[in-house]
Amino acid sequence: MNTANQEIKPVTTRINENGNIEIGGCDLIELANEYATPLYIFDEATIRSITKSYKDAFKNYPKMRMMYASKAFMTKAMCKIMAQEGFGLDLCSGGEIYTAQSSGFDMSKTLFNGNNKSYDELNMALDLGIGTVSVDNFFELALLNDIAKSKNKTVRILLRITPGIECHTHEYIQTGHLDSKFGFDLTQIDEALELIRDEYINLHLVGLHAHIGSQIFEKQVYYDEVDVIFNEIKRIKDKYNIELSEINLGGGLGIKYTEEDKPISIYEIANTIIDSIRTHAQKYNIDEPYVFIEPGRSIVGTAGVTIYTAGSSKKVPNGRKYQAVDGGMADNARPSLYQAKYTVEIANKPNEKPVEKVTIAGRFCESGDILAKDIVLPEIEEGDIICFYNTGAYGYSMSSNYNRVLKPAAVLVNNGKSDIIINRQTYAQLCESDVIPDRMNG
């Protein structure tokens, strides 16, 4: 069964009677006129369709728990949707924790993850009732225990481990191989366990956490990840008589950015994980644990598009044609950072024949600010609305104010209605943290 992560476009995408691209019942040209561009657009139906696919795919494993990886796209509205869909939240900063709590999210259903959590972040996490902390290293073990002790609290923790599994993704988004900044090496687990047992009495270890990467198209790596974790759980039980009841397998399921991408479905990954869990639980004579997964990109990526307005163009003699738009690397860093590729259409010309090869250039003062290289589109005119699909994950999350350009707005579309979920930044907001020293005002 296909799932929405295997599609390039949001599930509600169509060409309407005006000849324009429509998503969530909203004409993209009308959205551009109403909210201006650049503009992030999120299709609520696609988000909810994918969350329902995850729940349905894992329904035969009652101990499965879903945690949305907030780093993909985090707003108060997303927190509301995830709460309504029965998902927890995987959080990795004080800002994400604050956003979740201020949206009214049940903080007992959250996990705090990350390789260098600060004292202030851990302190706030405990004050706001974080559900579980995934501890990444020895420094954090000691720090978290000290904070918990000062508050007379016991904190549920997972140990994050590096399982030594590499997936075939860009090297910057591989997180499970041995040479990684994340987690305890398997050779360090005994030392960590002995510290928790003998000294860090305010930490309650409930399980292990591993994450093997992002934009994964392979099933076998998930089977192998479960194998590594169960082997470690069995070893810990035999050596320390500690029975761990939870495992967190991370996220990482890929999505379809272009026709060349061949991601597996949510049902395929679910069948692989469930089969591996049950096989290894029987093999090692271990009770089936509670299993957490943390999808992020696969939930929100396909649901999001970004639209731009075409501006100036340049034809290099005997070379490329560059078409500039009113956004770029500050609202979507992935092409510059990962050489990421996208599917692109002209929202007001979806039925016109592609006739020219163009390179879509951003407006920022970097030669590397290229959003799409050598793609074939209909002839572009100034004022055309250019639509990039599959920008829902890591577009806004990685955005910046480079060149002091304002961050775009984001809207949620559903059944012909659009709602602002992030206001467009104003110049006053851009400067509100700036301070001129008094000595310069004399």
Whether the predicted pLDDT of 171 surpasses 50? no
Q: What is the per-residue pLDDT across 225-240, written as a single tens digit (0 to 9) for each?
A: 999 999 999 999 999 9
pLDDT for the residue numbered 104: 98
CATH pick for 4-42+304-431 out of 3.10.180.10, 2.40.37.10, 3.40.50.2000, 1.10.760.10? 2.40.37.10
Whether the predicted pLDDT of 405 surpasses 90? yes
- How are beta strands 110-112 and 132-135 bridged, if at all? parallel
Whether the predicted pLDDT of 6 surpasses 50? yes
Whether the predicted pLDDT of 176 surpasses 60? no
Q: Do the beta carbons of residue 305 and residue 387 sit within 8 Å?
A: yes
> Percent of the chain, pLDDT > 70?
96
Just give the CATH number of 44-300: 3.20.20.10
Q: How far apart are CA 277 and CA 342, in angstroms?
A: 35
- With H, G, I as helix, E, B as strand and everything else as coil, classify residue 348: coil
What is the Cα 441 distance to its own chain's centre? Answer: 44
Considering only the C-alpha atoms of the chain, give the largest distance between any 2 of them, rounded to a whole number of Å: 77
Q: Which residues pair with 64 in a beta bridge?
A: 291
Q: What is the mean pLDDT of residues 1-10?
A: 94
pLDDT for the residue numbered 165: 65
Q: What is the mean pLDDT of residues 5-23?
A: 97
Whether the predicted pLDDT of 341 surpasses 90? yes
* Better-scored residue on pLDDT, 299 or 179: 299
pLDDT for the residue numbered 169: 43
The reply to whether 365 belongs to the active site is yes
DSSP string, 151-216: TT--EEEEEEEE-----SS-GGG--SSSS-SSSEEGGGHHHHHHHHHHT-TTEEEEEEE----SSB
How far is residue 185 from each of residues 138, 161, 190, measured CA to CA in Å?
A: 11, 6, 10
Q: How far apart are CA 417 and CA 34, in angstroms?
A: 12
Q: How confident is the model at residue 214 (pLDDT cuts 50, 70, 90)?
A: confident
Provide the angle, in degrees to the nearest 10, between the axes of the packed helices 76-84 and 44-57. Answer: 40
Catalytic residue among 26, 365, 387, 431: 365
H helices present in 58-137, as ranges: 76-84, 94-102, 119-127
Q: How far apart are CA 268 and CA 266, in angstroms?
A: 5
Q: How far apart are CA 438 and CA 353, in angstroms?
A: 60
Q: What is the per-residue pLDDT across 355-379, written as a single tens digit (0 to 9) for each?
A: 999 999 999 999 999 999 999 999 9
Q: How confident is the model at residue 166 (pLDDT cuts 50, 70, 90)?
A: low
pLDDT for the residue numbered 183: 80
pLDDT for the residue numbered 177: 43
pLDDT for the residue numbered 180: 63
- Any idea where the domains of the chain sit in the sequence? 4-42+304-431, 44-300
> Percent of the chain, pLDDT > 90?
90
What is the Cα 59 distance to its own chain's centre? Answer: 23
